[in-house]
Amino acid sequence: MELTLGFSPCPNDTFIFDAMVNGKIDTHGLSFNYVMEDVGTLNAWAEQGKLDITKLSYSTFLHTVNDYALLHSGSALGVGVGPLLVAKSALDMSKISEYKIAIPGFNTTANLLLSLAHPTAKNKSEMIFSDIETAVLDGSYDAGLIIHEGRFTYQAKGLTKLMDLGDWWEQTTHAAIPLGGIVVRRSFDKELSATIDKIIKESIAYSWANYPALAPFVTANAQEMEETVMRKHIDLYVNDYSTDLGETGRNAIITLFDKAKAGGLIKGELPASVFY
């Protein structure tokens, strides 16, 4: 049985999916026709129901939960992993409504956290996450919301941190930060979804068993990223929650849904379970 699968070319995703899409482990009769795209595209495709299995921002999951169910493995979730709001120099955050802000997508978890922390920050424009630092440096934007490897590179590029949205979330909710998850079509039967979940978990285990070696699948797709940055990326975003969300991870996701609903960012009721 062939299934369509979408994930990003970032090191955490290629690390997670390498073994299962490249024939390194038993995939229990399943094959995966995969595509790699930036998070904004994956989110848009999730809203269209384009793929059978996909990585998406938890913010997008809030709006697609009736079509997709969450897997227990593959997530990017944790502590100290949040998006950062940066600028060329310190800005008065009381005037954030006046600032032009570049964001990696309106339906990213990063933007959801910014909207919850600063509801008056409305002057936002979407762009590919890897272009945000340059857009702030050249003066096109007053500030930028950075994710992924930007967390490790912004200072070297001469940018200043205005706010760590992850710290804000952790201090406000005392919960881990749900960034992105792996979902499957809700129409899949429980047995198929459980098999996919198991394969992802085994794929992660394979990559860790061969770490610190970096597979060519990871390095070839890392967009000229330095090896040390790749390792920092993997070490931060692929953690115990990626193998299995556990009770702490599941509670963090429910907290995100609750906060988004209380803030008027989503409407309607959730399914009985956000999981398969």
Distance, in Å, from the CA atom of 55 to the CA atom of 42, rounded to the nearest integer, reads 7
Domain membership of residue 24 (yes or no) is: yes
The domain boundary residue, chosen from 173, 191, 209: 173
Domain membership of residue 127 (yes or no) is: yes
Distance, in Å, from the CA atom of 8 to the CA atom of 38, rounded to the nearest integer, reads 5
Q: Which of the given ranges, 10-14, 104-108, 224-228, has the highest pLDDT on average?
A: 10-14
The verdict on whether residue 110 carries a ligand-binding annotation is yes
Based on the fold, state whether residues 247 and 122 are members of the same structural domain.
no
The verdict on whether residue 3 carries a ligand-binding annotation is no
Based on the fold, state whether residues 39 and 120 are members of the same structural domain.
no
Based on the fold, state whether residues 64 and 194 are members of the same structural domain.
yes
Domain membership of residue 205 (yes or no) is: yes
Based on the fold, state whether residues 69 and 182 are members of the same structural domain.
yes
Domain membership of residue 272 (yes or no) is: no
Based on the fold, state whether residues 93 and 160 are members of the same structural domain.
yes
Q: Is 242 exposed, middle or buried (0-12, 13-18, 19+ CB in 10 A)?
A: buried
Question: What pLDDT, on the 0 to 100 scale, is given for residue 224?
Answer: 66
pTM of this structure: 0.84
pLDDT band at 271 (very low <50, low <70, confident <90, very high): confident
Domain membership of residue 207 (yes or no) is: yes
Based on the fold, state whether residues 224 and 208 are members of the same structural domain.
yes
Q: Answer yes or no: 148 catalytic.
A: yes
Mean per-residue pLDDT of the chain? 93
Name every residue whose Cβ is closer than 8 Å to that of residue 11 and which is 6 or more positions away in sequence: 149, 214, 218, 222, 225, 230, 233, 234
Report percent pLDDT > 90 for the chain. Answer: 75
Name every residue whose Cβ is closer than 8 Å to that of residue 5 and which is 6 or more positions away in sequence: 17, 21, 32, 33, 34, 35, 51, 52, 53, 54
The domain boundary residue, chosen from 173, 203, 218: 173
| Residues 171 and 113: beta-carbon distance below 8 Å | no
Q: Number of folded domains in the chain?
A: 2
The verdict on whether residue 179 carries a ligand-binding annotation is no
Based on the fold, state whether residues 230 and 192 are members of the same structural domain.
yes
Domain membership of residue 99 (yes or no) is: yes
The verdict on whether residue 55 carries a ligand-binding annotation is yes
Distance, in Å, from the CA atom of 145 to the CA atom of 163, rounded to the nearest integer, reads 9
* DSSP per residue, 109-173: HHHHHHHHH-TT---EEE--GGGHHHHHHTTS-SEEEE-TTHHHHTTTTT-EEEEEHHHHHHHHH
Rg (CA), the chain: 18
Domain membership of residue 184 (yes or no) is: yes
**Is 70 exceeded by the pLDDT of residue 15?**
yes
Based on the fold, state whether residues 184 and 66 are members of the same structural domain.
yes
The verdict on whether residue 260 carries a ligand-binding annotation is no
| Residues 86 and 133: beta-carbon distance below 8 Å | yes
What values do phi and psi take at 96, rounded to 5? -60, -25
Range of the domain at 137: 84-173
CATH number at residue 163: 3.40.190.10
If one counts every other C-beta atom within 10 angstroms of the C-beta of residue 22, the result is 15
Q: What is the pLDDT of residues 149-175, one digit of tens each?
A: 778 889 989 999 999 999 999 999 999
Based on the fold, state whether residues 66 and 103 are members of the same structural domain.
no
Based on the fold, state whether residues 185 and 245 are members of the same structural domain.
yes
| Given 63, 72, 118, 148, the catalytic residue | 148
The domain boundary residue, chosen from 132, 155, 173: 173
Over the range 36-45, which residues count as b (16 or more CB within 10 Å of their CB) and which as e? bbbbbbbbbb
Chain centroid to Cα 99, Å, comes to 25
Chain centroid to Cα 77, Å, comes to 8
Question: What pLDDT, on the 0 to 100 scale, is given for residue 204?
Answer: 98
Based on the fold, state whether residues 162 and 203 are members of the same structural domain.
no
Based on the fold, state whether residues 134 and 191 are members of the same structural domain.
no
Domain membership of residue 41 (yes or no) is: yes
Distance, in Å, from the CA atom of 246 to the CA atom of 70, rounded to the nearest integer, reads 13
Distance, in Å, from the CA atom of 39 to the CA atom of 232, rounded to the nearest integer, reads 19
